[in-house]
Each structure stands twice: as structure tokens, then as C-alpha cells.
Structure 1
Amino acid sequence: MDIKYQDINIRNANPDDSNQLAKWWNDGKVMAHAGFPLGLNTSAEKISKQLLNDSDEKKRTLIIEYKNLPIGEMNYKYQGDFVYDIGIKICEFQYQDKGLGRIILSLFIDQLFKMDARLITLDTNLVNKRAQHVYEKLGFKEKSISYNSFKDQLGKLNSVVYYELRKDDFCNLASKLNFKSR
């Protein structure tokens, strides 16, 4: 995947991105929302090997760049039957709350629907209201909530909200802004 819009670039991650991904994934502040307040404790070497197994057909890790700087990552996993599960993190905090996430997600989701996705799913921590607001603005519908479904690394119980999006419900902010992804 290689999507460009103004100062945004979404591209496939490659082994050269392993150090950056390790920095983010090992940072407890970045990973706390996913249940890892102590980070993932992984290595660039391990991440590099994982990236070599990525494919457009099964799963892909992507790098989000803004003004030529890596600011986050996203991914998709093909679940079968034209269903894709996605995730996104704006890892550089100074780029959060700037409206970039909804544009980046619009570009990404639009591309997945062009890849024949019929349903896109994601989940987020129930306390992550900012992300939920963005997802719902894009047309995601709440499917279910799993209360106290997992403990984070510190033993704190967390709840998860599950969302799904069908093409007909997609509120593509890309089309509202009259831009085209390449």
C-alpha cells in the first residue's frame, strides 16, 4: 500500500522501519491504551523478521508519515470472507488531536474497500473516547462491549468496545475534502 495525500504518506513497513517500530512498541506511554503500559519489550530484530512475513493478502503493517516524518503505524489482518481487522496508532503525541487520524483512517479504509473489503472491524479500549468519536464519525457501528475482558501488564482490568464498518455506512472524509488517494 502506498497512499499519498498532501503531507500524509501511508506506506508498507519494511525491515528498515524496525528500529522506529521497536521504539514505539516498547514505549509504555504509546502502548498503554492496548494494555501494555510497560511496552512490548520486543526487539528490532524480531520486528524485522515479522515484517518479512507481511503480505497484501494476509496482513500488513504500515507506517504513517507526516511531512516526511514517521508519526505512527497502522495494520490490517485479512480475516477471510472479505473481512479486514484494522488498528491505528498515532505514536508521536504532538501529532494527536490535530485531525490527522480521521483523514489517515479515511484514506486507509477507502483503500481497503477498493481491495474488495465488505466489512472492516476494529476494537478499542472502552475508556478511549477520543478514538471512539473518530470511528463513529467515519460510520463505524458499535457491535459489542466486553467488560473487564483483559488485564493489562499492571493487573488492571480493561474493557473493550468492538466496532464494524460496512461500505454503505462509510463516511469518507476523503471524498468530502475532494482529494484522491494514489
Structure 2
Amino acid sequence: MNINYKDILIRNAIESDAKQLETWWNDGSVMAHAGFPDGVHTNAERIKNQIENYTDKKRTLIIEYKDIPIGEMNYKMSDDSECEIGIKICESDYQERGIGRVVLSLFIEELFNMGAKLIFLTTNLKNKRAQHVYEKLGFKKTKIEYDSWKDQRGELQSTVFYDLEKENFVSYK
């Protein structure tokens, strides 16, 4: 995937991105909403191995803004054209600026063009900022599972499930 729009570039992660991904994924402030308040304790070599095995059905993408890596996204397309996604604007200076909403608009549009019929995701119930963005884009909340899992510190967490069909998609690009 390679999407250029104004100052935004969304591109496939490559092996040379492994060090940046390692930094983000090991940062508890970035990974807390995913259940890893202490980071995921990975390393660049493991990440390089993951990158080598990506396909057009499953991969991690790098988000750049004005040529600076600011975050990452991932997707996994199933055989029945359902696509699970995730996104993190990892650099806090670029959060709460509307960039994520535009990035997601570009990403979702491309996934629908690739044949996705349904795009779905989950987020932590505490992540109100993300929920607000998803709902503005047309995602529908389908379920909340309260206290359904524990983060790496053993604290109970709740998950919100969202679905998006093409006819409900609202683009912000």
C-alpha cells in the first residue's frame, strides 16, 4: 500500500522501519490502550521477521506526516472480505490534530477499493478519543465486553467492538 495525500504518506512497513516500530511498541504510553502499559518487550529482529512475512492480506503500515514517521496501522483481510484494522498515532505531538481522522479516511477508502465489504476493529473502552473518531467516520458500535480481559499488569479492561460498511463511511479527506 502506498497512499500520498497532501502532507500524509501511508506506506508498507519495511525492514528499516523495525527500529522505529520497536521504539513505539516498547513504549507503555503508546501501547497502554492495547493492554501493554509496560510495552510489548519486542526487538528489531523479531519485527524484521514479521515484516518479511507480510502479504497483501495482512501487513503493518507506517504513517508519515511531512516526511516524519508518526504512527502505524495494520490490517488483516479475511477470505470473506472482512477486514480487521488497528491504528496508533504514536508521536504525541501529532495526536488531537485531526491527522488520524484523515489517515483513517484514506486507509478505509483503500481497503474498500481492495474488496473489503466490512471493516471492523476493537478499542479499549477507556480510549474515548479513538471512539469519537471511529464514530465520526461512520463506524457502528456493535458490542461492549465489560471487564473481559486483563492487561499485562493484571487490571481488568473492557473492549468496544465497531463495524463499518461502505454505505456508512464518512470520509474526512
TM-score (norm: length of structure 1): 0.94
Q: How far has the Cα of 1:78 moved from its partner?
A: 1.1
- Residue-by-residue CA offset, 1:90-119 (whole Å, 9 max, x unaligned): 000010000001000000000000001100
What is the deviation of 1:152?
A: 0.6
Counterparts of residues 131-142 of structure 1 (less than 5 Å): 131-142=130-141
* Structure 2: distance between partners of 1:163 and 1:19: 31
| Count of aligned residue pairs for this structure pair | 173
| Contact preservation (8 Å) 2:75, 2:84 | yes
Q: Give the secondary-structure state (helix, strand or coil) at the position aligned to 1:173.
A: coil
Counterpart AA for 1:65:
E
- Given that 2:77 and 2:116 are in contact with CA atoms closer than 8 Å, whether structure 1 keeps it comes out as no
**Aligned amino acid, residue 60 of structure 2:** T
Provide the residue aligned with 2:21 in structure 1: 21
The runs of at least 4 consecutive aligned structure 1 residues that moved more than 2 Å come to: none
Answering whether residue 121 of structure 2 is matched by residue 122 of structure 1, we say: yes
Aligned-residue offset at 1:173: 1.6
Kept in 1: contact 2:118–2:164 (CA 8 A)? yes
| Equivalent residue number for residue 165 of structure 2 | 166
**5+ residue gaps in structure 1?**
175-182
Which amino acid is 1:55 matched to?
T
1:148 aligns with 2:147: yes
Question: 1:75 and 2:74 equivalent?
Answer: yes
Matches within 5 A, 1:87-106: 87-106=86-105
1:126-162 superposed Cα distances (whole Å, 9 cap, x missing partner): 0111100100000000110111111111111000000
Distance 2:78 2:37 in 1: 28
CA distance in 1, matches of 2:127, 2:17: 27
Q: Deviations over 1:59-83 (max 9, x none)?
A: 0100000000000000000122110
5+ unaligned residues in a row in structure 2: which ranges? none
1:51 CA displacement:
0.4
Using structure 2 for the length normalisation, give the TM-score: 0.99
Q: Which amino acid aligns with 2:78?
A: Q
- SS of residue paired to 1:132: helix
Q: Quick one: which amino acid aligns to residue 3 of structure 2?
A: I
* Contact in 1 for aligned 2:146/2:158 (Cα 8 Å): yes
SS in 1 for 2:78: strand
- Aligned residue type for 2:25: W
Q: Aligned partners of 1:97 and 1:46: how far apart in 2?
A: 31
